Amino acid sequence: MPRKARSVKRHPANPDPKFGNAKYGKFINYLMQRGKKNVAQKIFYMALEEVSKKMSTAEQPVEGKQIFEQALRNIAPLVEVKGRRIGGANYQVPMEVVEPRKTAIGMKWLIAAAQARKGAPMYQKLASEIMDGYNKIGSAIKKREDTHRMAEANKAFAHFAKFQRR
C-alpha cells in the first residue's frame, strides 16, 4: 500500500444528446432512477420546455437553458460544514466548496426539492423548482441558506480547516 495519497483524475461527464452539454448530461444522470436514462432525459427536456413556456412573454422569449443555468448558480452553496475530530472533540468546520462539488450539490438539492413536491408529474415539479431557484425562493434555496447559516454559526472553528484531509 503506498504511503502517499495520489490524486484521482476526474472522469469527464458524457454530454447530453440534445444540447451536447456535459453539465446537462450530469444532471440527467443524477435524475435517472433504476437505469432509465431515456425517462430522465424526457423529464429534463420537458421541464426545460415548461420553464421556457412559463417564463417567456410575448415580447421577450426566454430559453429554458439560461433559466436552468442561473437557477443552478443560485442554488449551489459557497461554503459547507464538515465534521473534523480534533483533540477528542468533533467540530463542524466551515470550508469553501470547490467548483465541481458546488454544482453537484446544487443539482442534487434541486432534484431532491422537486421530488419532495407533491401532486404533479415530475417534469412539472422540476420546472417549478427550477423557476423557484431562478427567483431565489423554494426549498432548494432554503437548503442553501441553512447550509450557509450553519457555516456562519461555526465560523469560530474555521481555523481547523488547515487540518483538512485530502
> CB-based burial of residue 103 (10 Å sphere; 0-12 exposed, 13-18 middle, 19+ buried)?
middle
Q: What pLDDT shows up at residue 41?
A: 97
Q: Which domains does the chain have, with CATH numbers?
A: 22-161 (1.10.455.10)
Q: How far apart are the first and last CA of the chain?
A: 17
What is the per-residue burial (b if ≥16 Cβ within 10 Å, else e) of 142-155? ebbeebbeebeebe
Q: Which of 50, 56, 42 is nearest to 124 (CA)?
A: 50
The model's confidence at residue 6, banded by pLDDT at 50, 70 and 90, is confident
Q: Are 126 and 114 in contact (CB under 8 A)?
A: yes
The model's confidence at residue 164, banded by pLDDT at 50, 70 and 90, is low
pLDDT digits (tens, 9 = 90+) for 73-124: 999 999 999 998 888 999 899 999 998 999 999 999 999 999 999 999 999 9
Q: What pLDDT shows up at residue 112?
A: 97
The CA dihedral of 78, 148, 143, 109, to the nearest 10 degrees, is 20
Provide the 3-class DSSP secondary structure of residue 164: coil
CB atoms within 10 A of CB 57: 7
Whole-prediction pTM:
0.89
Q: Are 161 and 94 in contact (CB under 8 A)?
A: yes
> What sign for the dihedral angle of Cα 23, 25, 29, 30?
positive
Mean pLDDT of the chain: 92
The amino acid at 157? F
Provide the 3-class DSSP secondary structure of residue 91: strand
